[in-house]
Amino acid sequence: MNTNYPANEPSTGHILVLGATGTTGGEVARQLITAGHRPRLLVRGVSRVKAAEFENNAVIVDGDLQDDSSMTTALSGVEKLYLACSGLSNGVAGRFLERRTIDTARKAGVKHVVKLSTFKADDPSLLLGRWHGDTERHLIDSGMAWTMLRPATFNTNALSMWADSIKSQGVFSQPTGHGRWASIDPADIAAVAVRALTSPGHESKIYTLTGPESMDGSGYAAQLASVLGKSVSFMDSAPELLKQAMVDFGFPEDQVNAALQVMGSVKANEWDVISNDVSTVLGRLPVKFDDWTARNAAAFC
């Protein structure tokens, strides 16, 4: 059986995408379909409604990462797995789910896992790095082929974290000071994942995925203002304000602490990195933040 799935030999159900209703998983599914593949998508209960756009072009499987029986069924005949688990943000619970999924995939005969990890997954001083780093090591030890995707912050964080205050007040805030980071379009992360899932040569590779520009909050504000045609400013805020907002929203303590550590690391300029890995894999530059903003301008106005 062919496990490389070149573009002229589309796969049907042999690639399982987790998180198909999420930010990167949805993009992975769409891009696989566009490339002529018919992936298998794991959804859970009412999430099937959200996956309606895929029903005619994908194999929809109702399952739950916490249910070993449904995962065994979902993984039957699968050779490539895109592993993205939103629960990983919740620390111990998320790591348990991903490790168990890796074990089930190995037993089911999966040959290659492409894991969505995080920038600085090799930094155990960060909770987020330690969580993903532990899972990366578990995947490596599984004996399956693997590819690690370590993206920096997503451009789409601007939608969830900044859009409301930009729309109402023309300002956004976070505790990152003059720290710089190279935010990336999730569609570029997905494009790298699809390349790894459908072509050879990406096994045992760790890809650090960033946008083409590293900027501080004021730099992002300037690009937003230029594209939106309105005043947008950045305000450095106290970490305590973010902590209280996350607690009020109901985030668990370990996720709050992980977010604050990341913000502190950004502020210390430890995320001021521009990687060439997107260009190396895709043969093109990653999408610029202002081009992404232009596509999503309505959310900020």
Q: Which helix (H) or strand (E) holds 280?
A: helix 277-282
Kindly state the percentage of the chain with pLDDT values over 90: 77
- In terms of Cα–Cα distance, which of 180, 163, 287 is closest to 232? 163
> Does the pLDDT of residue 272 top 70, yes or no?
yes
Residue 100's CB: how many other CB atoms inside 10 A? 15
Residue 212's CB: how many other CB atoms inside 10 A? 17
Residue 2 banded pLDDT, cuts 50, 70, 90: very low
What's the CA gap between 236 and 239, in Å, rounded? Answer: 9
Domain boundaries along the sequence of the chain? 12-151+184-210+273-287
Q: What is the pTM of this model?
A: 0.92
The sign one gets for the Cα dihedral 247, 251, 252, 256 is negative
> Does the pLDDT of residue 166 top 70, yes or no?
yes
Residue 12 banded pLDDT, cuts 50, 70, 90: low
Name, in order, each residue with C-beta under 8 angstroms of 198's C-beta and a sequence gap of 6 or more. Answer: 4, 5, 6, 7, 11, 15, 32, 35, 37, 80
φ/ψ of 110, rounded to 5, equals -60, 135
Helix (H, G, I), strand (E, B) or coil at 292: helix
Helix (H, G, I), strand (E, B) or coil at 290: helix
What's the CA gap between 154 and 117, in Å, rounded? Answer: 13
- Look at 208 and 131; give whichever has higher pLDDT: 208
| CATH T-level fold of 12-151+184-210+273-287 | Rossmann fold (3.40.50)
What's the CA gap between 19 and 94, in Å, rounded? Answer: 13
Structure token digits, residue 105: 């995939």
Residue 39 banded pLDDT, cuts 50, 70, 90: very high
Across the chain, mean pLDDT equals 90
Per-residue pLDDT, averaged over 10-19, amounts to: 79
Name, in order, each residue with C-beta under 8 angstroms of 262's C-beta and a sequence gap of 6 or more. Answer: 126, 128
- In terms of Cα–Cα distance, which of 68, 147, 72, 77 is closest to 112? 147
